[in-house]
């Protein structure tokens, strides 16, 4: 028997506002529970109510009413603007927090928008105090985080959704099993089957107000009568709710295949607790990976906080590894203090987001030094990348181009296996390259003599020896982004009277690419690198 | 122990010691100091060189160009502070995965250079510190075995407290890089 948990977050936009109010702005008196509050959204019809709090609902307002009507009914209504984007991202954050109960959590919507989460807890209820206590625990945990919700547990997604939203309003948590499924659903209204408003209206015309009224009617007749254009029909929803048709949950994030977690009765409030528990988690995860012959390449440590958010830390490795000592060291280099416990972390999870098969290799008896070096290089790069950041540990990689600044690019060394290096074409290239090249003023003989004197970074230098030109034609198939014509470069190696050697170029050829007209750019000189 | 460095007239030792220093005579001499530092790599098939360079250094003087260093496998780490640079260099030296580790570090105390020396010894690699601003007269004792001051065309050497006093000098020949010091050049 499957156990699907559906959580209906009552008045989620108002809850989001109340949770963020104290954090990012001064406290708002309109958010007190006794004050009727409406969140207003602009539509084509004007300003309509997007969400209400219980006080406003008790006063008789509904969603979808225009703001003018609402204010006429209750002049003391407090109105604030609605923010559907913030509501959605907050709901996604809550779904990530709900991963403490199940690896795959999905968002669920009703006619009013996204207002709930749904996850599968088949076979895991014993970890949370048993089948009977499970919905109460979830409800209590959400209430402690300041979120008003109703929790329902049922064998199918449709039934759980229906019970959470349309079940008995007196009870906060509901749980049904296979035997009582039909009976529990029979008393719910037809809207609880997630069908559109016009199907509900049509059913009402036929006198079908409850789901129980649908049971005795032959299915072929129902299917013919109630069908919407996009294929969602009443019979399919009824079958999904009763478990005769399949339905899948689409999780917010892909669930990692390997994860270990542990919950704590007393929340961990400082780093010592996390540091003490991490080695145990790492050993368990390594054992799980070992059974399948996999090694981890990306690990994430997540701390689920009591206020409904998640704080996490990730590390990546160049080669698949399953040594817990190495993982712990990488996490320490990354900095465990980046995890913010807030008011307390009550569950820790270590997951392997990316795994690859790893084969144990027997080390050579003779111990070749070169292989040892190659094997030791990957962990060194992992450690450096963990502390400095992946974008700061780089390797040059040759690119198939003869333009010097494009002939090579620096790529992050993590996870990047160096390709076969090309032997080079024997041309002289500097050991330090200025990227981008810097403009200089040079005095040279036309049309293609080497400069006799040049000024770079405000220092005038005189050239004693020079070599060149090395002519590099432009890559004509790559136009410049600003539309100017790309011109030929003549490279010169020059040595000045101090003994320093530079690599300069002139872009543009006299004669062929520059004819001396006023509207053309004259060829210019640039400094590109330094030789040893 | 004489703290003031003196120049001397013997050839530069060809074998690299565990920890050395090369310092550029002026801001324009960084390329030659870099090349000289690279020449201190022990003779091996294809040296793996690690360079921990401050980001300001890279922005102002240009980045190392792999095409200009044939036969060298280079790993570059861009650091922000001196402490990060020292840490990166120590990690590279201790791991034994690189043949030589260069660090663009301005200031290092006796304790820090001793630590780098131990790490180099443990990993079996060579460490070279690359300094931009020259002038060693005002610095205190360090654990460096040799110190060199690289200037294009001319190379002089200043002794550390435990080092030998040698100077090498190359002629300003356009075909030879300043890093090629032949023993006995006068």
Q: Is B131 helix (H, G, I), strand (E, B) or coil?
A: strand
Convert the pLDDT of each residue in A498-532 to its tens digit: 888 899 999 888 888 887 787 778 889 999 999 87
Q: Is A511 exposed, middle or buried (0-12, 13-18, 19+ CB in 10 A)?
A: exposed
User: Which of B66, B119, B170 to mutate: most A Cβ within 10 Å?
Assistant: B66
Axis crossing angle, helix A369-388 with helix A324-334, rounded to the nearest 10: 40
Q: Is B152 helix (H, G, I), strand (E, B) or coil?
A: coil
Average pLDDT over residues A173-185: 87
pLDDT of residue B153: 44
CA distance linking residue A219 with residue A216, whole number of Å = 9
Q: Do the beta carbons of residue B51 and residue B35 sit within 8 Å?
A: no
Q: Is this complex scored with an ipTM above 0.90?
A: no
Convert the pLDDT of each residue in B149-178 to its tens digit: 554 443 334 443 333 333 333 332 222 223
- Say yes or no: A449 contacts chain B, CB-CB below 8 A: no
% residues pLDDT > 70 (chain B): 61
Cβ–Cβ gap A370/B97 under 8 Å: no
CA distance linking residue A213 with residue A205, whole number of Å = 13
Which residues lie below 8 Å from residue A450, measured CB to CB, with a gap of 6+? A444, A463, A466, A467, A468, A469, A492, A494
Convert the pLDDT of each residue in A223-281 to its tens digit: 777 776 555 678 888 888 888 888 888 888 888 889 998 988 888 888 888 899 899 99
Average pLDDT over residues B120-140: 71
Mean pLDDT lowest for which of A418-432, A483-497, B55-69? A418-432
CA distance linking residue B148 with residue B37, whole number of Å = 9
Q: Which of B62, B70, B96 sits opposite A529 (nearest CB)?
A: B62
How many other C-beta atoms are found inside a 10 Å radius of the C-beta of residue A94? 27
Q: Which of B34, B78, B177 sits opposite A432 (nearest CB)?
A: B34
- Say yes or no: A399 contacts chain B, CB-CB below 8 A: no
Backbone φ, ψ for residue A457 (5° rounding): 50, 45
| Global pTM value | 0.66
Q: Which of B31, B73, B154 sits opposite A530 (nearest CB)?
A: B31
Chain A partners within 8 Å of B88 (Cβ)? 384, 388
Left, alpha or beta for A130 (phi > 0: left; psi -120 to 50: alpha)? left
pLDDT band, residue A371 (cuts 50/70/90): low
Q: Do the beta carbons of residue A391 and residue B57 sit within 8 Å?
A: no
Q: Is A249 helix (H, G, I), strand (E, B) or coil?
A: coil
């Amino acid at each position: 028997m499957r156990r699907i948990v559906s959580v209906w977050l009552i008045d989620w936009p108002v809850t989001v506002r109340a949770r963020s109010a104290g954090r990012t702005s001064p406290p708002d008196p309109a958010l007190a529970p006794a004050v009727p509050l409406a969140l207003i959204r602009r539509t084509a019809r004007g300003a309509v109510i997007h969400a209400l709090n219980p006080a406003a609902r008790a006063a008789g307002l509904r969603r979808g009413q225009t703001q003018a009507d609402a204010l006429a009914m209750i002049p003391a209504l407090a109105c604030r603007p609605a923010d559907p984007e913030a509501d959605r991202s907050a709901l996604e954050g809550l779904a990530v927090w709900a991963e403490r109960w199940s690896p795959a959590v999905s968002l669920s919507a009703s006619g009013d928008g996204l207002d709930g989460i749904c996850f599968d807890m088949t076979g895991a209820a014993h970890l949370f105090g048993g089948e009977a206590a499970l919905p109460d625990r979830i409800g209590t945990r959400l209430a402690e985080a300041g979120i008003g919700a109703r929790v329902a547990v049922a064998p199918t997604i449709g039934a759980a959704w229906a019970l959470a939203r349309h079940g008995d309003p007196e009870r906060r948590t509901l749980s049904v099993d296979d035997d009582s499924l039909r009976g529990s659903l029979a008393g719910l209204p037809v809207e609880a089957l997630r069908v559109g408003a016009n199907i509900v209206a049509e059913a009402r015309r036929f006198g079908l107000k409850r789901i129980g009224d649908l049971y005795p009617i032959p299915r072929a007749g129902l299917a013919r009568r109630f069908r919407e254009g996009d294929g969602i029909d009443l019979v399919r929803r009824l079958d999904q709710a009763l478990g005769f048709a399949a339905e899948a949950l689409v999780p917010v994030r892909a669930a990692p295949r390997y994860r270990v977690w542990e919950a704590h009765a007393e929340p961990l409030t400082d780093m010592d607790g996390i540091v003490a528990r991490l080695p145990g988690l790492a050993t368990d995860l390594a054992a799980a990976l070992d059974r399948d012959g996999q090694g981890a390449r990306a690990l994430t440590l997540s701390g689920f906080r009591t206020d409904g958010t998640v704080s996490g830390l990730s590390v990546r490795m160049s080669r698949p590894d399953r040594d817990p000592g190495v993982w712990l060291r990488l996490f320490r280099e990354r900095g465990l203090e980046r995890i913010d416990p807030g008011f307390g972390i009550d569950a820790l999870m270590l997951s392997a987001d990316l795994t690859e098969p790893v084969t144990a290799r027997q080390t050579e008896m003779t111990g070749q030094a070169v292989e040892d070096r190659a094997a030791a290089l990957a962990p060194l790069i992992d450690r450096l990348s963990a502390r400095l950041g992946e974008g700061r540990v780089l390797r040059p990689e040759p690119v198939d181009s003869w333009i010097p600044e494009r002939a090579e690019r620096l790529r992050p060394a993590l996870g990047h296996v160096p390709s076969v290096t090309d032997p080079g074409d024997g041309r002289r290239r500097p050991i330090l390259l200025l990227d981008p090249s810097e403009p200089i003023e040079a005095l040279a003989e036309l049309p293609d003599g080497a400069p006799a004197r040049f000024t770079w970074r405000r220092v005038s230098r005189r050239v004693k020896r020079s070599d060149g030109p090395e002519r590099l034609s432009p890559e004509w198939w790559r136009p410049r982004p600003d539309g100017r014509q790309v011109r030929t470069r003549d490279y010169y190696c020059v040595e000045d009277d101090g003994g320093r050697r530079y690599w300069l170029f002139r872009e543009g050829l006299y004669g062929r690419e520059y004819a001396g007209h006023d509207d053309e750019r004259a060829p210019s000189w640039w400094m590109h690198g330094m030789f040893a | 122990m004489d703290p003031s460095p003196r120049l001397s007239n013997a050839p530069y030792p060809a074998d690299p010691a565990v920890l050395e220093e090369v310092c550029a005579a002026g801001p324009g001499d960084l390329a030659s100091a870099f090349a000289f530092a690279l020449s201190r790599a022990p003779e091996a098939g294809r040296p793996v060189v690690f360079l921990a360079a401050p980001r300001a250094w890279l922005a102002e003087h240009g980045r190392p160009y792999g095409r200009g260093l044939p036969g060298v496998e280079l790993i570059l780490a861009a650091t922000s502070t001196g402490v990060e640079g020292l840490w990166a260099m120590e990690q590279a030296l201790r791991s034994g995965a690189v043949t030589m580790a260069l660090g663009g570090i301005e200031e290092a105390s006796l304790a820090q250079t001793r630590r780098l020396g131990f790490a180099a010894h443990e990993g079996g690699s060579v460490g070279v510190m690359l300094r931009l601003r020259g002038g060693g007269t005002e610095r205190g004792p360090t654990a460096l075995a040799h110190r060199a001051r690289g200037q294009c065309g001319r190379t002089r050497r200043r002794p550390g407290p435990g080092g030998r006093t040698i100077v090498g000098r190359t002629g300003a020949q356009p075909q030879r890089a300043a890093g090629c010091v032949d023993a006995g050049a006068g």
